[in-house]
Structure 1
């Protein structure tokens, strides 16, 4: 069975070895390189994000329109108007996401070539 530290000198030596090991592991561990606001997303996440933005715009427009119809008694008029406004807002948000993706180089990690960046090229 392993023995524990016998005195303070052993504890200090163990602590120094542990710090040295942590430093060596930190140097060997590759660090993530975030090259833009969308660096952590892959293409499937971006597609789902765009779909959710569109559906959220439609849903919010539907709820606001229904509430105004109920408040003013205008039947489906406000609901139809606000569904179209929500659809337009969802499309605008999707286009903004697409423009952000295009600005990062065409791939979610911002690398135009599609391959991972070298360790020396990181910021």
Structure 2
């Protein structure tokens, strides 16, 4: 007998011998499967590259809301202070005090609207 015994249809590596046509068919099948995967990845990348307009508009809405609440709080405080000074004649102390109160109230209102206060967090350091 020779070095190679091909009566069982297998080569030296223990794998079945395939003709060139079978290998070419497998290669084409693999190529088409890879093309399909590449196309799906490109579609996913295109979807992730497009900015989500709803989240951008929600962010703009929150920014305008926070800004308007801040300005409104300061203006209401200033208006109350001016009215207090006008009625009682304590100018400029009523304006200063109520302006600072309006500023503080507007900052607290902005933090509450942004979700920074009122959030219960567990104490740090253990149970």
Scaled by the length of structure 2, the TM-score of the pair is 0.46
Which protein has the larger Cα radius of gyration, Structure 1 or Structure 2?
A: 2
Structure with larger RCO (C-alpha < 8 A, sep 6+):
1
Scaled by the length of structure 1, the TM-score of the pair is 0.47
